[in-house]
Amino acid sequence: MDSRTESSEALRQQLREIARLACRARCIVVSTGAGTSAESGIPTFRDAQTGLWARYDPVMLASYEGFVTDPENVWRWYDERRQAMALASPNPGHLALARWEALALAGGQEFLLATQNIDGLHSRAGSMHLLELHGNIWFARPLKGAYSEACELPQCPLPQLPPYDGQGRLLRPHVVWFGEMLDNAVLSQAMVTAGRADLLLVVGSSSQVYPAAALPHAALRKGGTVVEINPSETELTPHAHFSLRGPSGELLPQLLAEIELLHPAAEAAAPAQRKGAP
């Protein structure tokens, strides 16, 4: 048996063990980062600063101060990003998480997906119990308004830059900028749920951006099992019970396949599907 075969078998064994834990867990939390979106062709914030935008200070494109200085320019930057994101599609990793959620809920488990990504791909993939920690680029809210005042801006490209709401108030992107706090209600729900998670996965994240990076540690403090899926090692790696190397778009479907072999909800669905087949 060569080293590649041994490595492949070791991965299968790890996936089977994680699948067993997933089927027994009462509460499952998945935290995703920029890596999951990158696999759909969406560049990270800094990677998106190409061409004309390369000469701009990132803070001036993603801060309250930069926005009030030149709202039209900031919105032009975000509108270009929106147009690029509109061309992207959920990848197999996104779809696997949505399918896993459906299985978990059918089996009476609690499932929460907390993402740092602002592109809306998890929602498009079908995830429902979703917290967008850093907001959503497809929404906007009044400059001095509350998080709860966010409204969807589906037109792409936007017909007016900067956009205003029906009351004539200047709108800002519904995303978290440099120097801003996350929506406390969203963050609190994520932290509380992570604290009672039997199983928590961190997927496609450098585990360096807080407070999102604190979620696995909340689970660890309460005795939860933490799984990391990422192409390279991170600061979380020494603390994780399982650390799988590779793209989430490859590993999550493999994990889902193992879960479907064991999950009671999947077994219950199979006879119904066969019964309805011609």
User: Do residues 90 and 40 make contact, with C-beta atoms less than 8 angstroms apart?
Assistant: yes
- Position 165, amino acid: D
User: Do residues 261 and 19 make contact, with C-beta atoms less than 8 angstroms apart?
Assistant: yes
User: CA 195, CA 29: separation in Å to the nearest integer?
Assistant: 10
Burial 179-189 (b: 16+ CB within 10 A, else e): eeebbeebbee
Show the tokens assigned to 35.
């890596």
Question: How many helices (H) and strands (E) in the chain?
Answer: 11, 9
Residue among 94, 122, 134, 174 flagged as catalytic: 134
**Longest CA span, the chain:** 70
> Active-site residue 129, yes or no?
no
> Residue 185: which residues within 8 A CB-CB, separation 6 or more?
147
Which among 82, 182, 199 has a CA at the least distance from the CA of 132? 182
User: Beta strands of the chain (E only): which ranges?
Assistant: 27-32, 110-115, 130-132, 135-142, 151-152, 171-175, 199-203, 225-230, 242-245
Tell me the three state secondary structure of residue 1.
coil
**Looking at the annotation, which residues are catalytic?**
134
